Structure 1
Amino acid sequence: MDVPETPAPTGLADPEGLAELVRLLDRRGAVVLSGAGLSTESGIPDYRGVTGRSRGASPMTYQEFTGSEAARRRYWARSHTGWPLFARARPNAGHRAVERLRGSGHIAAVITQNVDGLHGAAGTREAVELHGGLHRVVCLGCRRGSSRAELDRRLDELNRGFRKPGAVLRPDGDVRLPPEAVAGFRVAPCADCGGVLKPDVVFFGENVPVHRVEHCYGLVDEARSLVVLGSSLAVLSGLRFVRRAARARLPVAIVNQGATRGDDLAALRLDLPLGPAMTEAARLLGAA
């Protein structure tokens, strides 16, 4: 389609930049790499504010989780308390616009660093969840997979009345709890083998499975452009795809509120709210 040189007024701060993004998407075959900033409009906080500075959240590492029963108790107590808030999150306008653009062929694939499942809930069920999903649980012993909803019921039975109102959700889907509240929490073992249960997500200090990384590299290699949505690219797991695209001379567009680690590799950099920006891009491309 022919995109007008000057789009209709959008109410966004950078209509010229948005027009460049639309022209890039109009080439079709874009791969989206999404991060936590895409889900903040759904009520899930990110690790960094619009300035790119850390919010002070201290995520548990894989080594802590696997090496300490007390750490696992702390993790599951906090996560169990926050789960109802996390599970209530629904796709926002940004997720829905990405799915419309995928349906129209402008976006070929979606890679997400998020563990909230909101791309899938918006209809993008083949989105690659780079870091896994909090809605799944895996046993570190027998490797049996199960749903987080099932585990939540078991934890609730073991810890009646543990949840208290007024909890404030953190980026990992958990909440802060005082040590004395955590001390009495009972952790559920694997229902099959009695082993240690872990959320099916990649913790800090744990590697993304090699086959998943290679699959994502393949998607980037076949893309006509890479569009980063809502990621500061502070960790290598996402930044490596931007670097790969740049080495292949694929145009990279970054839409994020705040600076990112990949800004110097981007052909286009937009500091705009994701929901309104992607909704307008979809409208201008006839995917609304």
Structure 2
Amino acid sequence: MKSLLDLLMSQTDWLVLTGAGISSLSGIPTYRNSEGKWQRKSPVTYQEFLLNETSRRQFWARNIAGWRFISAAEPNIAHLALVKLEKMGMISGLVTQNVDGLHEKAGSKGVIDLHGRADSVLCLDCGDMQSRQSLQDLFKKHNPIFFNKVERIVPENDASIDNLDFTSLIIPSCHLCGGLLKPDVVFFGEVVPHSKIDLCMDMMKVSSGLLVVGSSLQVFSGYRFCNWASKQGKPIALLCNGDTRADHLAIEKTRADCGPVLRHWMQLSNERIYSDEIGKLN
């Protein structure tokens, strides 16, 4: 851990990219193991969601359970440490692959939600947006028996949702046009908007280096940040509990829970600022 902290303290203006590992301490399950492989059934792709009603029911069955965990989650020490590091100038930007909104809830500013936000639902026909919680209430109204089963599931055993019978699940439609509803997130097989990619590229250009926290980088939308940093000759640091797709590009990697490490970085930065202020008074 010391070598990682030495690197992080050697310069300011890091771009931070976070993944599912940072939110696990908040009770949100991660779906890959330490080797970056799926711990449960593969997610429904965008194409399957659009074209197959059974796949849509399967997706929403999982999502009903997952939303319970996301909506109840609170920022943990890792999220809060990043807020303070941002205020200190150690971080120039924050991009997250997560859709839980916990960085914003913690107080981070200018967060780029690379894959969207799970708390909003989009109608694919008319473009209307509604809150995910309002849809959850409709799901519960139309599927009380299914909800009773889902509410017994805890985060540590969330994979059991795949064993529930979802064939009779009633899926609400858009209240305005009767169209197809989808969470305002990027599915597998779907493309991150070009405008968002351009903004992320600009953030990488003005940063001094890249710190990846809690991500295996198996998805290219996250891995591309390491390609950018490498081509720009900027240091890449990895903080996660397992293997990543960019291990060969990083100059420093620490296998550890991200919360204590980020908090330690925040404390060291705070001590330096305090020391500098005392020095100015002498």
Partner of 1:5: none
Structural mapping, 1:99-178, within 5 Å: 99-163=83-147, 164=149, 165-169=151-155, 176-178=161-163
Cα distance 1:239–1:162, how it changes in 2: closer, same or farther (>3 A)?
same
Matched-pair contact (CA < 8 Å) for 2:17–2:95: yes
Alpha-carbon distance between aligned partners in 1 of 2:242 and 2:162, rounded to the nearest angstrom: 30
| 68-77 or 277-286, which deviates more | 68-77
Match of 1:184 among 156, 168, 173: 168
Partner of 1:21: 8
Matched-pair contact (CA < 8 Å) for 1:47–1:57: no
Partner of 1:8: none
Q: Deviations over 1:96-125 (max 9, x none)?
A: 101110111111110101111111111114
SS of structure 1 residue aligned to 2:237: strand
SS of structure 2 residue aligned to 1:154: helix
Alpha-carbon distance between aligned partners in 1 of 2:243 and 2:179, rounded to the nearest angstrom: 42
Partner of 2:247: 263
Matched-pair contact (CA < 8 Å) for 1:169–1:175: no
| Deviation at residue 59 of structure 1 after TM alignment | 0.6
Partner of 2:195: 211
Alpha-carbon distance between aligned partners in 2 of 1:100 and 1:213, rounded to the nearest angstrom: 26
Match of 1:45 among 29, 32, 38: 29
SS of structure 2 residue aligned to 1:59: coil
SS of structure 1 residue aligned to 2:108: coil
Alpha-carbon distance between aligned partners in 2 of 1:98 and 1:216, rounded to the nearest angstrom: 18
Matched-pair contact (CA < 8 Å) for 1:189–1:196: yes
Identical aligned pairs, as a percentage?
Answer: 38
Matched-pair contact (CA < 8 Å) for 1:81–1:175: no
Alpha-carbon distance between aligned partners in 2 of 1:252 and 1:203, rounded to the nearest angstrom: 27
Amino acid at match of 2:161: R
SS of structure 2 residue aligned to 1:194: coil
Q: Deviations over 1:125-160 (max 9, x none)?
A: 421010111111100001111110111112222222
Alpha-carbon distance between aligned partners in 1 of 2:160 and 2:231, rounded to the nearest angstrom: 40
| 239-248 or 45-54, which deviates more | 45-54
The TM-score, its normalising length taken from structure 2, stands at 0.89
Amino acid at match of 1:15: K
Matched-pair contact (CA < 8 Å) for 1:82–1:167: no
SS of structure 2 residue aligned to 1:265: coil
**CA-atom RMSD, angstroms?**
2.1
Gaps of 5+ in 2: 274-282
Alpha-carbon distance between aligned partners in 2 of 1:267 and 1:220, rounded to the nearest angstrom: 17
Matched-pair contact (CA < 8 Å) for 1:82–1:174: no
The TM-score, its normalising length taken from structure 1, stands at 0.88
| 145-154 or 272-281, which deviates more | 145-154
Q: Deviations over 1:245-278 (max 9, x none)?
A: 1101011111111121111111221112100000
Gaps of 5+ in 1: 1-13
Alpha-carbon distance between aligned partners in 2 of 1:110 and 1:70, rounded to the nearest angstrom: 37
User: Alignment length, in residue pairs?
Assistant: 270
Cα distance 1:82–1:175, how it changes in 2: closer, same or farther (>3 A)?
farther
